[in-house]
Structure 1
């Protein structure tokens, strides 16, 4: 009994302000989940203070437009039919769950996120030198060269742009690769690189489908920069006049909301001997990172620019059935040990997912987070 009396809850001892200051120094969402699992009072404190959302916003300021309003899919009974305090608590719990999973899911991966080409600011010979060729690695396919070429310009300062569609409307991008093209069929083997490169990410300005924009490539239509809203702009990186896949690492991982990438090619360095004009030619482009789909999706409301973050947990069937079995057989230690052993055999990653799902009490119903007029 004396040991119980000597135990002190530091959150109650330090008070909310100092406790928040300490807990906001945690930089791993899993640590916050573990904190919330210590006791019922700590669980409530983490949720009421929105610590998972604060951590997510600190990790990725791009989602600052996503607000605190949470709604369940309309299949579920609306919470407005219940008591006010209960409504607020259920809302806070869902915000906690959404941001906890979003933060834990936003870990960098090395995978090319570009899915399709949309438009190039100019093309010298279409379709032989189309932006479509930059999707394929290498500088030749079968018996012909594979690259995009701009139109020739007499002044070297004229820029060019390439626009791409990413794998989903929510992609975490860490670095971008660009490979200048070396014309192995011209005298001297000139390399048509740019002087520098810069990257923008965002979404279409108008409620148009990117698929329809991709269809315009068949007629070589050019989409103007005013048709997009760029929510991120990278620093300017120097490009070397070298025949290699050049890596441009972003200062911080960027969460692209909207799924559109713009590659700005700034300045020209190489003249073509036959016409004395400056060109930029690119053989390949990659955007390395990871897609956050299908667990998360985003809908952009035009023309306000507001967005709706949709969270649809895709819980593994095995994990879901194991969670249900754990709840129904919690009084059966041997059953629980069997479930734990089976999940551990399937790998640490699966085990962490199981723990996170159990701690958060994840449901399979979609959760939607809307932004407001912040």
Structure 2
């Protein structure tokens, strides 16, 4: 550079793209684009930030286009030209994905469950309802606090627990689940599942609006899932079990579902039925809505393909 030479001008476009697409941190691309006007133009014209964000979070492949409600295109004589409008659109995408990437990488891990929505079954509601899964203690006011499924004679019958997250965009890295140990029963049995699987998605009928009302009456058919994890084996232990996802997952729509697969423990007084009882905690999530969209106003600025 001290000799006035720019390596982007010395290499062909394909080689430059090959070099820059090996960057794994969006901040590196932002810093690269701040070096000179020509480098910034190269990053923006080739949509490098968008491609990197999509590589980090494949769920973003459903983004059709982006808008900035608080921003307006500025131009003079070229304001109506197609070249100008295309360049403005590319710059807008660059800004949006830069803010999005900053949101993904700048939060410390935290809990991000907002509320429990619905369980596929509950043995004694509300005493053994899904809301108890969000209570870290196994006793509250001298009473046991846990969720229990209905009993089933077939151990293969699954159960699901559905939750709303703190924002419509959350990055989830790990989920912790604790099977409940019935300390009040003979032998103190642990009611666990054989394995667990996680789904993330959104409410089908509310895709164009941020969901504010309760979904207590929503059945499983009311949700669309954009991510389904692998199955994780559960230990038959009364401890908070950590299930770390292979890669951070962007939950679009703020709905998380836990699938409990396979039943293990029969109840002493009812040997023909098998139950699952849980306490639950979600950890390691980043909720992005308040940071990213303090600049972009609403979730509508990312327009999803249905």
Q: Same fold (TM over 0.5)?
A: yes
Q: State the SS of the aligned residue for 1:112.
A: coil
* Cα pair distance change 1:369/1:207, threshold 3 Å: closer
Alignment root-mean-square deviation, CA: 2.5
Aligned to 1:239: 234
Unaligned runs of 5+ in 1: 297-310, 315-363
* Cα pair distance change 1:127/1:70, threshold 3 Å: closer
Deviation per CA, 1:67-122: give whole Å up to 9, x if none: 3x343327847989633322222211111111112122212632111110000000
Asked if 1:90 corresponds to 2:105, the answer is: no
TM-superposed deviation, 1:205 = 1.7
Separation in structure 2 between the aligned mates of residue 134 and residue 11 of structure 1, nearest angstrom: 55
Match of 1:13 among 3, 10, 13: 10
Match of 2:248 among 241, 245, 253: 253
Aligned to 1:126: 125
Asked if 1:370 corresponds to 2:294, the answer is: no
Q: Would the aligned equivalents of 2:73 and 2:88 in 1 still touch at CA under 8 Å?
A: no
Match of 1:24 among 11, 21, 26: 21
> TM-score, with normalisation over the residues of structure 1?
0.75
Aligned pairs (5 A) from 1:107-146? 107=105, 109-146=108-145
Q: State the SS of the aligned residue for 1:152.
A: coil
Aligned to 2:266: 271
Q: State the SS of the aligned residue for 2:67.
A: strand
Separation in structure 2 between the aligned mates of residue 109 and residue 9 of structure 1, nearest angstrom: 38
**Aligned pair count?**
300
TM-superposed deviation, 1:254 = 0.3
Aligned to 1:53: 50
Separation in structure 2 between the aligned mates of residue 231 and residue 366 of structure 1, nearest angstrom: 17
Separation in structure 1 between the aligned mates of residue 191 and residue 79 of structure 2, nearest angstrom: 65
Aligned to 1:308: none
Aligned to 2:102: 104
Q: State the SS of the aligned residue for 2:170.
A: strand
Separation in structure 2 between the aligned mates of residue 124 and residue 367 of structure 1, nearest angstrom: 40
TM-superposed deviation, 1:148 = 0.2
Deviation per CA, 1:124-161: give whole Å up to 9, x if none: 00100000011111211121000000001112111100
Q: State the SS of the aligned residue for 1:244.
A: coil
Which protein has the bigger helix share? 1
Aligned to 2:162: 163
* Cα pair distance change 1:229/1:31, threshold 3 Å: same
Separation in structure 1 between the aligned mates of residue 249 and residue 280 of structure 2, nearest angstrom: 21
Structure possessing the higher radius of gyration over alpha carbons: 1
Asked if 1:62 corresponds to 2:71, the answer is: no
Deviation per CA, 1:30-65: give whole Å up to 9, x if none: 111111112111111111111111111111111111
Aligned to 1:37: 34
Separation in structure 1 between the aligned mates of residue 300 and residue 32 of structure 2, nearest angstrom: 24
Separation in structure 1 between the aligned mates of residue 168 and residue 121 of structure 2, nearest angstrom: 26
* Larger CA deviation: 76-85 vs 148-157: 76-85
Unaligned runs of 5+ in 2: none
Q: Would the aligned equivalents of 1:313 and 1:366 in 2 still touch at CA under 8 Å?
A: no
Deviation per CA, 1:276-311: give whole Å up to 9, x if none: 110000022324311001133xxxxxxxxxxxxxx4
Aligned to 1:327: none
Separation in structure 2 between the aligned mates of residue 168 and residue 224 of structure 1, nearest angstrom: 21
* Cα pair distance change 1:166/1:74, threshold 3 Å: closer
> TM-score, with normalisation over the residues of structure 2?
0.90
Q: Would the aligned equivalents of 1:312 and 1:366 in 2 still touch at CA under 8 Å?
A: no
Separation in structure 1 between the aligned mates of residue 305 and residue 269 of structure 2, nearest angstrom: 57
Report which structure shows greater RCO (CA 8 Å, sep ≥6): 2
Asked if 1:180 corresponds to 2:179, the answer is: yes
